[in-house]
Structure 1
Amino acid sequence: MKKAILKKAAITSVALLTLAGGAGSAFANGNDKGHDDKGNHQSSNGNKKNDKHGINLQFKDEKELKWALEYIIRLASKGVFNGYDDGTFKPQQKITRIESIVAAVRLMGLKEQAESQAEMSTKLNFKDADLLAKKYPWAVGYVAVALEKDLFSETDDSIQPDKPATRLFAATLLVKALGLEAEAKAKVNSELNFRDENKIPAGSVGYVQVAIEKGLITGYEDNTFRPNQPVTRAELAALLDRTDDQLPDQDAQAITGKLKADPASNAIVVVKPNNTEVALALDPNVFIFRNNVKVAVSALKAGDEVLVRTYQNKVVFIEVTKLASEQPAVTTQVGLFNSYSLNAQGKIATISITRTENGTTQAYVFNTSPDVAIVGNAALLVAGHAVELTVLNNLVYSIKVL
């Protein structure tokens, strides 16, 4: 389970990253914008949107995202779970079964297969297949793939796409997406010990047990599970994010490694685990998480371990998975020795050097460490002789006579 799931602090602001273009973007309902039969965005007047119009990093209802922000960001950067074409995410809106199924298939890395012509033209045998084809034609391939991957039960005769997804439905769906159905069936006689366990069908007990063991879902503080409670979009984002950590990462656009240097405003260099370097251009609206909060590019540090995702050859998402060790700032200062002062103990307290730059000679005075060392022939430490100072956190620790 990702460490982010254990975070207790709520992140209460900033925008949500969503990838735009194709069926990989927003889910839409009847009141918003929909999709045509090829999965392209379609506005209310029937005009297709250009698949290359970029990314959207701002949502009109961003203040409502709160605790779910980080979950949603990571999923959106993979094109798994996104916002609506009207510029909102609607985190508190109840999510439907078809939205849950589509998200699960994408999470499994099967988006391309689900949107292939072969899957899109599948003749489904559900009683409400015609309703799906009429209202959600772009989702036919997703349902076909879900069937092939055993995300449906053998007794399911209807898709019920508009029915709200419940906690039990979501938990069962994600356990199946992880390929843990056999384990769930083996635990069908488990004792769940929830006050409302009698509301969980006997055949579903094993799925709930596995979902709890894998950290996908938990009960409530009053010791209830509430299997029939509808799931909001924000809640499903948290469930999907926890599941995502247990699935193989099939996104070739994900890059991990360490930052080679403090980044420029428009690019970073990542040293991958195999020690190869890759230079990456940053999207102007790149979304960055460091130390649990959204930060600017300038907050990134050399040595930060990062997870980077790109879209259209630009970095749109950076998560710092491990902070760089805070190393003291060490610099060297070269110039001509000018003078030094002593403290009460007769030790060097300050040292002054002069440097000539661009035709101007200027004196610089540095405080010294109590145990400053003189390297080389101390007899040559006279005015006008070249020296090199090693400065650590604004204190001179060594004076090298050149």
Structure 2
Amino acid sequence: MLDKRKSKWAAGALAATMIYSGIGWSATTAFAASPFSDVTAGHWAEKHISKLALQGILKGGTGTEAGKFNPNKNVSREEAVLIALRFMGIEDQVKSDEVLVFPSELTIGNYYKPYIKLALQKKILMIDEETELAKKEKGKDWGKSPATREWITRLLVRAIGKDAEAKLAASQATSFNDDTSIDAKLKGYVNVGIASGIITGVTVTNGAGASVTKFDPVAPVTRATASTLFSRAESKISVAYSGQVTGVLLAMDANKLTLLHQDGVVKDYTISTSTSVYRFDSEKASSLADLKLYGEVSLISEAGGSIGYVEQTSDTAKVKTYEGTLTRVSTSLNRLTLLVGEDSVYYYYDPLHLPSVKDANGQTLTLDNLPVNATVKLLVDAVRTDGKILSITVNQSVVNKTGTGTVAAWSAATRSLQVKATATSLPENFPVSANATIKKNGINVAPEDMKLGDTITYEVKSGSVTSIVITKSEQPTISGILNAINKTDKTIQYTVNGELSAKFMADNVIVKIEGYADATLDDVYKGDPISLTFNDSGKVSVISVTGNVVSNLTGATISSYVSDAKTLIVFDSAGKKYNLDVNASTRFDLNGTKLTLETATPLISSKGKKVNIGISGTNVIYVSIIAKYSGTVTENNTSARTLKLSLDGSGSITLPYVSPIVEIYGSTAKSYADVRVGDQVTVLLNGSQDQASSILVQKTAQFDFISSDTTNNKLRTKRADGVVEEWTLGSNIVLQDESGAATTLGALNNAGLLNITFQGNTPIKIKTVSVSYGRVSSVNTAGASVDLVLPNGSTVTKTVGSTPLILKNNVVQSSLSTVSPDDRVEIRKDENDRVVIEVVPLLRKLYWYYEADSRTLNVKKETLADTNFSFTLHSQVYIHQGTTTLSLTDLRNDDAISLYVLRGKVFEIAK
């Protein structure tokens, strides 16, 4: 427990501020682990400075020096003595009322005299040694003179009780390059200090350029060095410092650590983002993730009571492991019964600190749903004589879920399946039950008929796959030479090794040509080497041209066009000339709008016109007459005023600008300086196509759906800040459901949230967001999933990925483990397609009445000043008592109800 030793000071408040050479360094101020402004992150002594400051051994400043440590300031001898007494835990033995007489040669500050006397009594200082030293330094102030490395080593070796060892080692030479410079009377202490790991040598480069190690015995010791020396020495002495505890780490999250102390007491300790975390095997700062459960840790509290410093002092787990078959869980006796061999053995747990329970896949369980007759592994603490269960692992999966994914590995012989989950793109491994059904097109198929790459849906019960449906088979590809394409009959003819074959093409067949983003069947020619991909119906779904590669000339300048000869002469951006052939298959467009050769001829005959051209050899595949560019910003040189874009599939281009209009949704008065590398933008050119006139930054934001007007093509939404937006949608805006399939404006009425993508301030795509609300039944941190009980009573497994954004009380949490069974959560994706888990807070209220016209629920005020008494109901609010669904008419005046409110609307009412 926290030791509350009293500190006794030998002087008044003024003297107490003189610990640091007359500057305001408080003897009583406690600091958190990291607030010293002059000790930057990564400082070589940061760990030791943080620890000793919180232990009250070597502290920070007050007054004008508040918040500073002055790590490079030299430590005086009298300060070093005070630090040593605090280090030994005997500062409270100082007697300020005793008569103090010292030899005249020893000049000592009045505040420090009682401490020097105690040091002499404890024999960490010897009066004759220090008097002799003072005589040698005639004219110097003994107390205020800097403590040297060899002098403080002797002080510290005596403080840890190794004076006798030092005397025995006095005749031994050290290994340092400057061994002869070490005082012969202090050499034994240096030997013991080095052997004990308290102090080390200093590596320097000599005049010949070689590295040598020296001790540098008379170099002054700084505050940073003193912190390091005394911190290292703490392992050589047993002292209970005020505010410091040690124990075995049982559990941790972002807000607290749970420790088991030697006396068997289990206690939680509050931590914060300012808590410093370290390990025994490193001088660098660590994180909570680096701490090992069941190893030993040391905690030091700060002034407010929360923990300021955490150090793992040992990784060795203080646990014993037991394994057997679980036969009974007795919650009334706080006991598990295991069959170990032929014996039934009892193991007990602490009901106030329940053990963690997980299955073989890392899914979090409770004691109530532990499967009987399953093999389990128990970790039992080795601290208490009647060690309690700390964790339970079921040696099998108890996962119950359904999912979709792609077969990544499958062995019909061993019935082991690996699925790449659609939701997370992460692999999951399952055994397939011997009685599992595997179906395709509604018909049972043999296990061997399931292939790598097949898309499947599957059901898992108790960790084993019980049924599989193959929804899409991975089809082989065929490579050959194109002979002919008949668009009317939707057939393709090709040869493989000289043999002619034909296949039907799918209605939406895709043509892929490297370097050509919008290829069609018209861009494929007889003799082209091709690769064909088939759909589940055996029709060609993708035609990939493998030989012809389209080269892109971005920002080319037209020199001339000879219409009779269909010859187009252009210069690329580097000034290289190209004589190109236009043919019947050449495609033309103006900013994406298709043109015929006839309508395009006046444009491509205009000398100096900027175009993007795709060519294969000397054949022109396409000509795009440009007044805008779309791409990703790779450089914005605000000095030269040029913007470099990476264009999708067609290289890059650098565009100059002067004072372009810049549009970024949700922002006003933006300039070219606000355009960032990585932004997706559309740049509109001026009339002469030589400068950017407008830069429209693409941005996606999430909105609440309010209403849609299909007659006038209007959409009303609400932003996260409460601002209502209304848009009249153009015919070219893309509307998608949550899967990316096309949808209609009217269908948005069923949406709760929308992700709207803007080009500047103009919406260009609206996509519905899938939202799941329910009660958490279990959390699988290893498998990155949450089992959710929906309002309709069904349970679904939501895979959330490795980095979900978790919000609890509007605070971002660091781990999925902060989500607990019985929490109400909403799971959705944000505008960046990242999974968001928002824990919905509980409000306990007394029901008053309901206003149907406005869908407003009113509750009793808790005080006259209470303004939180009126709530709008969500359109699909879940009202229930236990598992019984209720209606609003089932609520009565003064009924105790629990409300779950999110984004200003009640999602659930529990009576």
The partner residue of 2:79 within 85, 99, 114 is 99
1:96 and 1:364 map into 2 onto residues whose CA distance is 61
Q: 1:153 to 1:364 in 2, by over 3 A?
A: closer
Deviation at 1:256, TM superposition (A): 2.6
2:129 counterpart of 1:145 = no
Deviation at 1:174, TM superposition (A): 0.9
The higher radius of gyration belongs to 2
Q: Which runs of 5+ in 1 are unaligned?
A: 1-20, 41-50, 352-362, 397-402
Partner of 2:271: 282
2:307 counterpart of 1:315 = yes
Q: 1:107 to 1:129 in 2, by over 3 A?
A: farther
Deviations 1:23-76 (A, max 9, x none): 99994233x3156xxx66xxxxxxxxxx6x864731221239721112222222
Deviations 1:135-191 (A, max 9, x none): xx2x33322221111122231336821101111111111111122222222333323
1:235 and 1:79 map into 2 onto residues whose CA distance is 16
**SS of match in other structure, 2:463:** strand
1:120 and 1:274 map into 2 onto residues whose CA distance is 36
Partner of 1:154: 127
Partner of 2:55: 78
Partner of 1:236: 226
The partner residue of 2:285 within 282, 288, 294 is 294
Q: 1:59 to 1:188 in 2, by over 3 A?
A: same
1:366 and 1:333 map into 2 onto residues whose CA distance is 19
The partner residue of 2:193 within 203, 211, 215 is 211
The structure with the largest strand share of the pair is 2
Report 1:142-221 matches (<5 A): 142-155=115-128, 156-157=130-131, 160-192=142-174, 194-221=176-203
Contact 1:308/1:317, CA 8 A, preserved across alignment = yes
**SS of match in other structure, 2:188:** helix
2:161 and 2:416 map into 1 onto residues whose CA distance is 70
* Residue type of the alignment partner of 1:151: I
Deviation at 1:317, TM superposition (A): 1.1
**SS of match in other structure, 2:214:** coil
Deviation at 1:340, TM superposition (A): 11
1:263 and 1:283 map into 2 onto residues whose CA distance is 10
Q: 1:349 to 1:395 in 2, by over 3 A?
A: farther
The partner residue of 1:268 within 248, 257, 260 is 257
2:150 and 2:424 map into 1 onto residues whose CA distance is 70
Report 1:121-132 matches (<5 A): 121-127=97-103, 132=108
Deviation at 1:101, TM superposition (A): 0.8
Partner of 2:45: 68
Deviation at 1:271, TM superposition (A): 2.4
Contact 2:34/2:50, CA 8 A, preserved across alignment = no
Partner of 1:330: 362
Contact 1:280/1:314, CA 8 A, preserved across alignment = yes
2:436 and 2:425 map into 1 onto residues whose CA distance is 19
* Residue type of the alignment partner of 2:86: R
Contact 1:340/1:350, CA 8 A, preserved across alignment = no
2:224 and 2:404 map into 1 onto residues whose CA distance is 66
**SS of match in other structure, 1:66:** coil
Partner of 1:359: none
2:175 and 2:418 map into 1 onto residues whose CA distance is 71
**SS of match in other structure, 1:188:** coil
Q: 1:200 to 1:62 in 2, by over 3 A?
A: closer
* Residue type of the alignment partner of 1:68: A
Deviations 1:269-313 (A, max 9, x none): 112356541112236632222584435657756545422122454
Deviation at 1:246, TM superposition (A): 0.6
1:26 and 1:300 map into 2 onto residues whose CA distance is 38
Partner of 1:89: 69
**SS of match in other structure, 2:312:** strand
1:194 and 1:301 map into 2 onto residues whose CA distance is 38
1:242 and 1:336 map into 2 onto residues whose CA distance is 52
Q: 1:229 to 1:182 in 2, by over 3 A?
A: same
Partner of 1:355: none
**SS of match in other structure, 1:294:** coil
Q: 1:126 to 1:364 in 2, by over 3 A?
A: closer
2:265 and 2:71 map into 1 onto residues whose CA distance is 40
* Residue type of the alignment partner of 2:223: R
1:338 and 1:93 map into 2 onto residues whose CA distance is 63
Partner of 1:248: 238
2:43 and 2:267 map into 1 onto residues whose CA distance is 34
Deviations 1:73-115 (A, max 9, x none): 222232112222212222222211111111111111112223x
Q: 1:389 to 1:324 in 2, by over 3 A?
A: farther
Deviation at 1:322, TM superposition (A): 4.5
**SS of match in other structure, 2:100:** coil
Deviation at 1:345, TM superposition (A): 5.2
Q: 1:207 to 1:299 in 2, by over 3 A?
A: closer
Contact 1:171/1:208, CA 8 A, preserved across alignment = yes
Q: 1:106 to 1:226 in 2, by over 3 A?
A: same
1:74 and 1:54 map into 2 onto residues whose CA distance is 10
Q: 1:125 to 1:256 in 2, by over 3 A?
A: same
Partner of 1:45: none
1:223 and 1:213 map into 2 onto residues whose CA distance is 16
* Residue type of the alignment partner of 1:319: E
Contact 2:153/2:199, CA 8 A, preserved across alignment = yes
Deviation at 1:204, TM superposition (A): 2.3
Aligned length: 340
* Residue type of the alignment partner of 1:307: S
**SS of match in other structure, 2:237:** coil
**SS of match in other structure, 1:330:** coil
Q: 1:334 to 1:366 in 2, by over 3 A?
A: farther
* Residue type of the alignment partner of 1:240: F
Contact 1:216/1:242, CA 8 A, preserved across alignment = yes
Contact 1:24/1:80, CA 8 A, preserved across alignment = no
The partner residue of 2:214 within 210, 219, 224 is 224
Q: Which runs of 5+ in 2 are unaligned?
A: 1-8, 135-140, 204-211, 318-357, 364-396, 438-443, 445-456, 465-779, 786-911
Task: Using the aligned pairs only, state the percent identity.
Answer: 23
